[in-house]
Structure 1
Amino acid sequence: MMIEKHISDLLYRYQCVTIPGFGAFVTEIVSAQVNGSAATFLPPRKIISFNPNIKNNDGLLANHIAQREKITFEKAVALLTQKANSWIAELQQHNSVSFPNIGNISVNGEELNWIFTPIDSVNYLTSSFGLTSFISPEIKREVLKAIEEQPVFEKIETSTTLVKEEEEDTKVIPFEPVATKRNFGFARYAVASIALLAAMGTYGYKMYYDQQIATKTLIVQKQVQEEVQKKIQEATFVIDVPELSVSLPIAEEKMPYHLIAGAFRSEENADKAVRLLQEQGFQPNKLNRNKYDLIPVTYGSYKTLEEAEAEKVKLQKEVNAEAWLFIE
């Protein structure tokens, strides 16, 4: 049975996948980026990290394995415990543990700390399915060399010499036919005057038409106001209107993102946890009993994923490193 494959399948749908007694793989959504001078464009994706401090069994991985492998929940938990112990033994012997399509866990030789190296070849963000990274090549521009031109006076001298040589060789006597020039100046002025008069006439007619429309509009508005005043004076404003009580349903604001403080099988313990969190300044809430017969208690609930992620980071740093995000 490949437990690593089941972990990989759950990372597409959940923010945190916990291996009981071993640790948890946590994902964080990162927007599109441009890296390096080679202009490498990266699509939006999930960055995977490993937290060895989250070891409590939330039932997510065990229930998934039980459904996929057609075994009982208790047997799935036993298999996970056995596998986790074998991984811990490998790391104690300074061997690395590989999780296909997720990453590798190795041990620091000096401090014996676990070091997780993620694999970036798989994007677990389903909204970016089909998007891959690409490199935009550098645009090379051609530099055109300036062409040196000959001085103008040299061209003039050359053309003058060619003309003189041609005249001497051909000896052609130039002849210009006498043409009668007509004076069209008066016609130009006449056309311009006609166009100006036509434009002035059109503008004057438009002003007259706009003035007539404005006058008629004022007359109509005055008549309407007089009719309204007349109706107001004739009316009697004694109207008995029964009071209407209309109750409109108020839509509850959905907050599907919950930061989980703990899950309890006893409702009494869940109530104690809620009172304790209220004394600490949180706004806790009890969620409905889940399919594992547990009652989750939250630090708080939020409308957007960004708000919940920001609060989760703050909680893990200041209050509880094992706080995790649950999405309804």
Structure 2
Amino acid sequence: MKLENYISELLYRYECVTIPGFGAFLTSTKGAQVHTSTNAFYPPTKMISFNKQVINNDGLLANYIASVKKLSYDIALIKIETSVFEWQQTLNSNAILTLKNLGEFWLNNEGSLQFNPSQHVNYLTSSFGLSTFVSPEITREQLHKEVETIEKKTPITLTPEARKTAPSYLKYAAVFVLGLSVAGSIGYNYLNTQTENAIVAEQDAQEKVTQEIQNATFFDELPLELAPVQLTVTKKVTPLKYHIVAGAFRDENNAHTRVAELKEQGYEHATILGQNKFGLWQVSLQGFEENREAERFLFKNRKAITGIWLFVSE
């Protein structure tokens, strides 16, 4: 049985897939990148890492194999153990263990397990169909302004004309027009004065009316006091998506016992998440809204409590 095929299928949907007795594959999202020197564009990806300390069975892989292969849960566990035994034999013979679409494993000189993830598969479903591509560099044309030469215009010379003497009857006409202008100016000033006086009188009357309105009393009694209104604001609690799971049990009593043990150790937020789709009662150390906070908590407490893993609720 190619166990790596089932692991690969689960990594598309989960951020942690544990192989009992061997370790756990973890994923983390990496944003899109641009390589400035090669002009290569890389889509968002889901990077794979491996944690050899997470070896406890969470039931995810075994239940998935059992449902796909139409096997019982116990038979699926036996098949997983058989595959893990074969992997360990390959590693103990100083050979490289290659798991398709996952990566390569080997033992260094000190006997420590090493892992090199595969770069051929992107497990981020939102990036489906996106591939790496290289775009040629864009060159922008620079526009240069051309300076136009302005020709000097020839200066215009003004030639004075000879003055002509106006006839005498034009002089009398000018005097008559001047008289009409003076009379019109006097009449216009008189009309303006009368208009301004009327406007001032109207403004005074308006101010008196406004003052009387302001001094008037509209209430014979004090206004009624309204009773205070109390509003109850209910804060909407968003369910936490990321949980650090410390075990999964078929018996609910065992799950309650595990929660009590964790609280005695100082983990006050320990609780039972409920049953998963495989019928196991999952015990959570603590829940988080952000993935980074959950990973930070996992890294900090993985030595104190072995076998914990990150669970993402759907």
Q: How does the TM-score come out when normalised to structure 2?
A: 0.67
**1:278, CA displacement in angstroms?**
3.0
In 1: Cα distance, 2:73 partner to 2:139 partner: 62
Rg larger in 1 or in 2? 2
Contact kept in structure 1, 2:59 and 2:248, CA below 8 Å: no
Instruction: Name the residue aligned to 2:174.
Output: none
In 2: Cα distance, 1:2 partner to 1:291 partner: 24
**1:263, CA displacement in angstroms?**
2.6
In 2: Cα distance, 1:104 partner to 1:319 partner: 29
**1:7, CA displacement in angstroms?**
1.0
Alpha carbons of 1:240 and 1:44: their partners in 2 closer, same or farther (altered >3 Å)?
closer
1:1-328 superposed matches below 5 A: 1-35=1-35, 37-108=37-108, 110-138=109-137, 231=218, 233-234=219-220, 237-238=223-224, 251-282=236-267, 283-316=269-302, 319-320=304-305, 322-328=307-313
Residue type matched to 1:251 in 2?
K
Contact kept in structure 2, 1:38 and 1:137, CA below 8 Å: no
Q: Cα RMSD (Å) of the superposition?
A: 3.6
In 2: Cα distance, 1:43 partner to 1:182 partner: 81
Alpha carbons of 1:293 and 1:140: their partners in 2 closer, same or farther (altered >3 Å)?
closer
Residue type matched to 1:285 in 2?
T
In 2: Cα distance, 1:123 partner to 1:28 partner: 11
Residue type matched to 1:74 in 2?
D
Contact kept in structure 2, 1:38 and 1:138, CA below 8 Å: no
Residue type matched to 1:302 in 2?
F
Contact kept in structure 2, 1:22 and 1:84, CA below 8 Å: yes
Residue type matched to 2:8 in 1?
S
In 2: Cα distance, 1:266 partner to 1:65 partner: 22
In 2: Cα distance, 1:84 partner to 1:306 partner: 30
In 2: Cα distance, 1:319 partner to 1:35 partner: 40
Alpha carbons of 1:255 and 1:235: their partners in 2 closer, same or farther (altered >3 Å)?
farther
Contact kept in structure 2, 1:20 and 1:81, CA below 8 Å: yes
**1:120, CA displacement in angstroms?**
0.9
In 2: Cα distance, 1:235 partner to 1:128 partner: 73
**1:124, CA displacement in angstroms?**
0.5
Does the residue aligned with 1:123 lie in a helix, a strand or coil? Answer: coil
Q: Deviations over 1:300-322 (max 9, x none)?
A: 11122232223223333x53453
Instruction: Name the residue aligned to 2:185.
Output: none
Contact kept in structure 2, 1:260 and 1:325, CA below 8 Å: yes
Residue type matched to 2:242 in 1?
Y
**1:30, CA displacement in angstroms?**
1.8
**1:295, CA displacement in angstroms?**
2.5
The structure with higher relative contact order (CA 8 Å, sep 6+) is: 2
Q: How does the TM-score come out when normalised to structure 1?
A: 0.64
Runs of 4+ in 1 over 6 A off after TM superposition: 140-143, 180-183, 243-248
Alpha carbons of 1:182 and 1:269: their partners in 2 closer, same or farther (altered >3 Å)?
farther
Alpha carbons of 1:267 and 1:66: their partners in 2 closer, same or farther (altered >3 Å)?
closer
Alpha carbons of 1:135 and 1:319: their partners in 2 closer, same or farther (altered >3 Å)?
farther
Q: Deviations over 1:28-75 (max 9, x none)?
A: 122223347324332221111122222221111111111111222221
**1:182, CA displacement in angstroms?**
10
Residue type matched to 2:239 in 1?
K
In 2: Cα distance, 1:3 partner to 1:57 partner: 15
Residue type matched to 2:274 in 1?
N
Instruction: Name the residue aligned to 1:164.
Output: none
Instruction: Name the residue aligned to 2:145.
Output: none
**1:137, CA displacement in angstroms?**
3.9
**1:323, CA displacement in angstroms?**
2.1
**Structure 2, unaligned runs of 5 or more:** 143-156, 161-202
**Structure 1, unaligned runs of 5 or more:** 144-179, 184-215
In 2: Cα distance, 1:23 partner to 1:305 partner: 21
In 2: Cα distance, 1:43 partner to 1:119 partner: 16
